[in-house]
Structures are given as structure tokens and as C-alpha cells.
Chains A and B, each alone.
Chain A
Amino acid sequence: MVTKEENELLTRTGPGTPMGELFRQFWLPILLAEELPTPDCPPVRVKILGENLVAFRDTAGRVGVLDAYCAHRGASLFWGRNEENGLRCVYHGWKYDVDGRCVDMPSEPAESGFRDRIRQPAYPTREGGGIIWVYMGSPEQVAEMPELEWTRVPAPHRYVHKRFQACNYLQNVEGEVDSSHVSFLHRRFDAPATLAGQQLLARSKDSSPRFTATETDYGLLIAARRNWDDESYYWRITQFLMPSYTMIPSEPGAPIGFTAAVPADDESMWGFTATWRPDRPLSKEDVARIESWTGIYAEVAPGDYRTVANRGNNYLIDRERQRAESFTGIRGIREQDLAVQEDQRGPITDRTREHLGTSDVGVVAVRQRLLRAVDELQRGQGPPETHNSAAYGVRSAALLLKRGVHYEQGAKDALIADPSIS
């Protein structure tokens, strides 16, 4: 439980809010690269941290992310002409380059110097891992790009995806670090053959794991320990990476999962998910399994990234299947997550009304970590993670360890990225 004030601090990320300022210190996933496939392709609208933006890829292939509304009289640049290294407003023809410079102002006299005094708000971008990233913080101290392993492997080694989710980002992050719910929400009564890399979980009998959360250079390492047999524990070890990224534990040898919850506004978010194999390309079977939409990927409508199962159709819940096949009667793991996360007493849950138990240790730790970072930033101390990009080279793990072995020792090798990939 947190206070009302803390809940506001945690959940509001618009311009000028303390948490919004914190998020703006980091490189954030904003679009899939496929949304801007070629030079001079149509621009796209994108809302992030409460700001309405437009993104385009210019003739030279550079990506620009601009305030969506023309500096002249506020027409949307989404209707604009993307041509000859700039985006031209359809209203009076003002044209901007990827840095927001006004490179043409045909509605003014040729000798007018007005053009040089105009600057359309623009944010720097990077491409990595099939994703376009944006930095919306102060230009003086631009963050380092996090060295996430999946952004550095060859493209055939990974799968990336995005979805719209109709709730505050924190409800999604809390779900990702909460190992406890997988024993319930994601339970299947039949053999979970579809869940690659989760065979141990399927056989686990212990539904009340013990949690430990440890401070790290990237955020938190959260370990959930379940009883396995007299000699072993079953461990699920998850990273929370600042400001809102997580890794999903899977067994050694299975593809690894990454998620990012990026606020669109306070009541909705973009969920980016990546799966990768460090050592080899994803197989046809790996991809087919992802695109069965039964796992951590929700099926989305082509073009707009809205989920096919959504609140409007009750996530296609099937009460007969809920009786016979699974705990929820909802198809996929991500779709099950959506059902519980998109309405926790609304899109922004009131955390003063909840009742947290011992199984919520990870959730509590993430909130405290974020609140501390906001507090430090307000006192002039930027988040250290933004200049420690190498710290992001980690992997999650799900594995059995002998009861006497400390998980940080026993899982040491499983938890680091391959340093030779760069």
C-alpha cells in the first residue's frame, strides 16, 4: 500500500510531472522500425508520456520525432508530405527536418528571416533491435543506449512486437515482477505443451513463493523461490530495469523474454516485447509458437497494434474452458494479463485500497525503487543507470538449484549476457 500522494507520483508521467521527468532521462522504445519501413514513407502518429508526436523517416533514412502540431498554427503534421528530407505541413507548406529546423516557409516572402527563428520541438532518436528509441530529456546530458542483449544480436535471432494496453504503465510492470500470479492466472489444467521454457513451472506444486529483491546497477533483481523436492528449490529470477523494463524468466536453452511498458498517457501504454536466442537464429518453431498468441504475445490487429482480445469483448473469455482447461478461460498468457491489469479498479489503480501480502515483495520493491529515483532526481541527482549502459547486459532465468546454494551464485552464469555480442 502507498499513500495517495505516492500513487500520484508513481503513475503520472506527463510533461512536468516528477515521474515524467524521470522517464525522460532514459532512451525509450517508441515505435517498431517496421512502422517507418522506407525513406519518405508515410509519417505515423505516436503518443508517449502524454505528448502527441509525429514520426517520419526522411529521404536519407534518418528518423525524426516531432511535436505533432505545426509551429505555425497547430495543424497536425500527420497529414504532411514526407519528401526531400523533410516533413511539410499540408496547411501552408512549412517544412521541417528531422531535427525540427524549419527548412522551408513558402507562405512567407523569400527575404523573410522568419524561418530561421522557428524551431519545431524535436527529439533525438536511435534504432536498435528492430525498434526506434527516443530520448526526451535535457539535450545537455543525453543518456547512453542500454546494452540490452537482444538489441545487439543479429536480426534473425530475435522477435519484437508491440501492443496497445489500456492501463497505466505501472500495472503492467507490477504484473511482470510478480512471480506469484503465474501459479494462478496462467495455470492450465492440461499439459502446458505450448509454453516453451516453462516445463518446470508446469510441474511446480508450490503456489506461495518466497521473494527476495536486491538492488543492482540497472534496477532490481527479484528472485522467487518455490519448494521443489527435499534437495532443491525452483527459482524464478526476474530483472526490473529502470525505468520500466523487465525480463521474463525462462529455462536454460529456451528463448529469453524482454518487456517494456512505455506510457502513452497516464491511462494507457505501449507494451514492447522481445524474444531472443543469444547463440542462434530463432527457429521456425520458435516463431510459430510466438504467433500462436498463447504465450507472452497478444495478437494485435494489423496496423494499429490494438489487441484482438480486449475489454470490449471481455477478452473472449470462455466460461466452459475456464471450467475445464485453464484458470481463466482466456486464451494466451498476455491476454490473461490484460484482463487483470487493464481494470484494477480502473486504468489507474488506487493503491491506498489494496491489501498486500508476503507474495507482493517484488511489487513493493519496484515502487520503492521508482519513488527513490524520483526523489533523487528532484534533488538534482540524475538516475545513475542512464550512464551505466553495460549494466543492462543481463538475462533472466528459471532453474532448479540445490537447497544450500545461494541463487546469485548458483544462477550466476545464467544471469549475464554474452559479452562477446556487440
Chain B
Amino acid sequence: MLSKQENELITRAGPGTPMGELMRRYWVPALLSEEIPAPDSAPVQVRILGEDLVAFRDTQGRIGLLDEHCSHRGTSLFYGRNEECGLRCIYHGWKYDVEGNVLDTPAEPAGSQFKNKVKHPAYPTHEANGIVFAYLGPPEKSPLFPSHEWASVASDHTYVTKCLQECSYLQGLEGECDSSHLSFLHRTFSLDGEQSLYQRDSAPAYETEDTDFGVRLIALRSAGQGKTYVRVSSFIQPVGCAVPVGSRGPDGRLDGYEVHFYTPADDTHSWRFDFGFRRSRAVTEKDVHRRLVIGPGYQRIPNAANHYLQNREKQRTVNFTGMDDFLSHDSCATESMGPLYDRSREHLGTSDKGVIAVRRYLLDAVKALQAGGEPAANVTDPVQNDFRHADCINQVIEGEDWRAAFPHLRRSRMVAETVGAR
């Protein structure tokens, strides 16, 4: 449960809000590379953190992310001409480069210096394995792009999808940090594959620990015969969660994991980015099953307007929800809470430990920034830019000591070791 004030503080991320200011201090997913596939391809509209932006890839392949509305008289640059290293407004021909410099004001007299006096709002971007990340904060405060394992694997070993969530970012993010719902929301009655592992024990023991990337979330289920089924996820500040899903590798261990990001579009909509990778092999279409349920404009085909295509007969006989895919399960559960859930009215139990820890982490980070501190979990020193310890686990171990079984899961990077090795 949160107070009404805390609920406002944690959910409002538009310009000028405390959470909005915090999120602007991180690299957040803005769009997919596939939306602007080639140099001089058509620009696209991007709404994130309550701001209307336009993204384009210029002639040299550089990405620009600009205020959608022309500095001259506010016309949308989405309709603009993307040509010769710049985006040109169709109203009076003003042209901007990827950094927001005004290259041309052809409606002004030759020799006019007007263009040198105008700077169009523009944000830096970083492209990593199919996702274009953006930094919307003060330029001098930009952190390094964090070096996670998933960002550095070969691109053919990765996949990513995006879809619109019709609710606050936090509702989606909370679902990722909540291992408990796997035993219910995603239950199938057939008990094949890994289903049996998390259905055998529907009241796991939970642990959380703060780390230098966010919060590690551990769920421990009894697997019988003195064994423990360990699932470890990682909340990655500010809108990501790495979750232990995907196929197993030749060694029987998880062959990678997925990172799910929820970038606020505005306070009642978010963009869900689902990124995944395999360590041992290139991905196939089968790995990207979500693509089948995402339609034009990155809207999910099963959605609130069609009751997520729920089938009541299927709900009786096949699975817990009567809906086919995980994406629909998650969306139904989180969107049906309402576009901006009032957390002063909920009743949290012990199974909500992960959710509570993540909220507290976010609220602490907001309050620290408001008090003049620096944003949690950012790195500016290249030597320290290593987040390989933010790994995910999906494995049965002997006994209960998950720390001993997975020593690479640390609270922070091994800076001394790294430095020493150089």
C-alpha cells in the first residue's frame, strides 16, 4: 500500500514531475530500430515521458530524436521530409539535423542569421540490439550506457518486440517483479515443461536485495527431496526487469534471459519492450512468439476492447485465464486495474515482497534526487561499467543455499578485481 501522495510521486513522469526528472536521468527505450529501418526512411512519432517527439534516421544513418513540433510555428515534423542529413518541416521548409541545429530557414532572406539563434529541442540516442534508447535529461548529467550482458551479445542472438500498454508504466513493471503470479495467471492445466516447477509450490519464499543496478528478486520454491527451485530476476532501474525466461542451453541452464522495459508514454500509457537473447545460438522465429499477437501501430491484437479474446470454455479446461498468450495474461491483469491504479486501496501480503521492494527503491531514488543527490544505479566511470552480475536464474538446486550455488550474483560489480586484472 502507498499513500495517495506516494502513489502520485511514483506514477507521474511528465516533464517537471519528480519521477519524470528521475527517469530523465537514465537511458530509456524510446523505439525499435525497425521503425526507422534505413537512412532517410520515413520519420515516426514517439511519445515518451509525456513528450511528443519525432525520430528519424538521417542520410548517414545517425538517429535524431527531436521535439515533434517545429520551432517556427509548431507544425508536426512527422510529416517532414527526411533528406540530405536532416529533417525538413513541410510548412516552411525549416530543416534540422539530428542534434536539433537549424540547418536551413529557406523562407528567410538569404544571409539571415536567424537560424543560428534557434536551437530545436533534441535528445541523444543510443542504439543497442534493435532498441533505440534515449536520454532526456540535462546533457552534462548523461550517464554511460550501462554495460549489461544482453546489450553486448551478437545481434542475431537477440530479438525484441514492442507493444502499447494502456496503463501506467508501474503496473506493468510490478507484474515483472512479482514471481507469485506465475503460479496462477500463467497456469496451464497440462503441467508440461516448467509449469510443474512453479505450480508444485504456489507460496514460495521470497528474498530481495538492493544492488548497484536496482533490486535482485529471488523466489524459492520447494522442489521436493530437499531440492529448491530458484528463480532470480533483476529489477533494473528505472523501468526494466530482467526475467528468467527462454530456452535452456546444452548445459541445461537458462540460455539467456529476457529484459522487459516499460517506458511511460504518458501517465496512463506505456511502451512495453520485450528483449531476449540466447547465449548458445542464433534466435529463430519461434523465440519471438509475441510478434504473432502484436498488430499495426504496436497495438496488441488481444486487448481490453475485445476482452483479450478470452474464451470461457478454454478457461474451464485448458488454462487459468482462457487467454492464449502470456502477453494477454499480463496485459489483462495490469490494464484492468485501471489506467492509473490507486495503491492506497490495495491489500498486500507476503507474496508481494518484490513489488514492495521495487516501489521503495524507486521512491527512495526520487526522494534522494529531490534532496540534491545523484540518481541511483548510474555509472559515469567506464572502469565501473559492468553489470554482468545482473543475471537471471531458473534452476533446481540441491538444498536451499542459492548464494553458494550462484556466486556470480553479487550486490555490486567486482571493481577491484577488474582493475587488478588490467
Chain A interface (Cβ within 8 Å of chain B)?
174, 180-181, 183-185, 207-208, 210, 314-315, 317, 319, 322, 327-328, 330, 336, 339-341, 343-345, 349-350, 353-360, 363
Contact = CB atoms under 8 A, between A and B. Distances in A.
Interface of B: 42, 69, 71-76, 78-79, 81, 89-93, 105-110, 112, 114, 118
Given A319-B42, A357-B105, A181 B79 contact: no
Nearest to B115: A357
B71 A354 contact: yes
A304 B90 CA distance: 28
B79 A315 contact: yes
A339 B74 contact: no
A340 B76 contact: yes
A317 B77 CA distance: 13
Given A344-B73, A344-B75, A181 B92 contact: yes
A359 B108 contact: yes
A208 B107 contact: yes
A359 B81 contact: no
Contacts of A327: 81, 90, 93
A207 B106 contact: yes
Contacts of B78: 314
Given A184-B90, A184-B91, A185-B92, A357 B42 contact: no
A183 B74 contact: no
Nearest to B71: A355
A356 B108 CA distance: 10
Nearest to B120: A355
Nearest to A353: B74
A339 B79 contact: yes
A330 B91 CA distance: 12
A358 B109 contact: yes
A357 B79 contact: no
A300 B78 CA distance: 24
- Of listed B71, B92, B118, residue having the most chain A CB within 10 A: B92
Given A183-B93, A208-B107, A340-B79, 20 more contacts: A181-B92, A185-B91, A208-B109, A314-B79, A322-B81, A327-B90, A328-B90, A336-B90, A340-B75, A341-B75, A349-B73, A350-B74, A353-B74, A354-B74, A357-B105, A357-B112, A357-B114, A358-B109, A359-B92, A359-B107
B70 to A, nearest CB: 8
Contact of B91 (A181, A350, A353, A357): A181
Contact of B92 (A180, A315, A341): A180
Contacts of B106: 183-184, 207-208
A181 B42 CA distance: 22
A357 B108 contact: yes
Contacts of A322: 81
Given A208-B109, A358-B108, A184 B73 contact: no
Given A208-B109, A354-B71, A358-B112, A184 B79 contact: no
B82 to A, nearest CB: 9
Given A184-B106, A315-B79, A357 B72 contact: yes
Contacts of A184: 89-93, 106-107
Contacts of B109: 208, 210, 358
A154 B91 CA distance: 36
Nearest to B72: A355
A176 to B, nearest CB: 13
A183 B76 contact: no
Contacts of B91: 181, 184-185, 340
Contacts of B107: 180-181, 183-184, 207-208, 357, 359
A234 B199 CA distance: 80
B21 to A, nearest CB: 21
A354 B120 CA distance: 11
A185 B90 contact: yes
Contacts of A339: 76, 79, 90
7 contacts: A174-B73, A341-B75, A344-B74, A345-B74, A357-B72, A357-B108, A363-B73
- Of listed B71, B73, B78, B107, residue having the most chain A CB within 10 A: B73
B240 to A, nearest CB: 31
A266 B75 CA distance: 18
Contacts of B76: 339-340, 343-344
A343 B75 contact: yes
Contacts of B72: 354-357
A328 B79 CA distance: 7
Contacts of B118: 355
Contacts of B69: 343-345
A340 B108 contact: no
A215 to B, nearest CB: 24
7 closest cross-chain pairs (CB), A and B = A344-B74, A184-B93, A345-B74, A359-B107, A340-B75, A345-B69, A180-B107
B73 to A, nearest CB: 5
Contacts of B90: 184-185, 327-328, 336, 339-340
A181 B69 CA distance: 16
Contacts of A315: 79
A259 to B, nearest CB: 18
Nearest to B40: A323
B16 to A, nearest CB: 15
B108 A208 contact: yes
A186 to B, nearest CB: 9
Contact of A349 (B42, B74, B105): B74
- Of listed B69, B75, B90, B109, residue having the most chain A CB within 10 A: B90
Contacts of A328: 79, 81, 90
